[in-house]
Structure 1
Amino acid sequence: MGKKIKYSCVGHGVLRAFILTMFALIVYSLLISVISVGPKVNSIFYIILTLISIIYGTICATIKAGSNGWLMGILVGLFYIVALFIVSILCGKEFAFGIKEITRVIMATLVGALSGMIAVNL
């Protein structure tokens, strides 16, 4: 009999990733209100924050589930990015699915899968 996927663990991981993202964005916004940074630094920060959040969410989901790390990671990465796109649209950003967004989805999926494979062995 096959193992069941614990979908609540995926939701838990996505929620933890979003909490980390919100906390880091608050700290970063306070920091840039004091220090002036360029748009290139902002872009790099957002990419690194997204990857760290996906890694953290995947580790939490995989440890809670106990198995299927790669699948948990892929699902956390995909749901996180989809939720991020939805929040962006709700905040007024116009949605255009281009090469930049495709790259983000692929990057989130790969980072999620890799961190899930690592987390299942912790």
Structure 2
Amino acid sequence: MSKEALRVSNRCPIRTTLELLGGKWKLLILFQLSGEALRLSALKKAIPDISEKMLIQELKNLTDSGLVLRQNYGEVPPRVEYRLSEKGQKALPLIAQMRDFALAYEQAE
């Protein structure tokens, strides 16, 4: 990759990726949703370190960006499920590469 081919600007692809996927929790949430649609309680169990408030906030951000789809079934008690959209599924290879990098990094120590 040529450094000249990538200018850091407001429309930079790396900046866009960081805005969409950056932060402590977004990639973990996307990874958990990679297998199936999950309810909020199942996501909370899968990522025990995240507070419920932060989980709800990050799910809203991911939904607003089109990476996650929210399905409200309109039942009482409320039943809402989250699943990856097509756009969200495109982040899965990136997550796999990040996992592979971390494993290789840990083995090099």
Q: TM-score, normalised by structure 2?
A: 0.33
Greater RCO between the two (CA within 8 Å, min separation 6)? 1
Which structure's CA Rg is the greater one?
2
Name whichever structure is richer in strand by fraction: 2
Q: TM-score, normalised by structure 1?
A: 0.30
Name whichever structure is richer in helix by fraction: 1
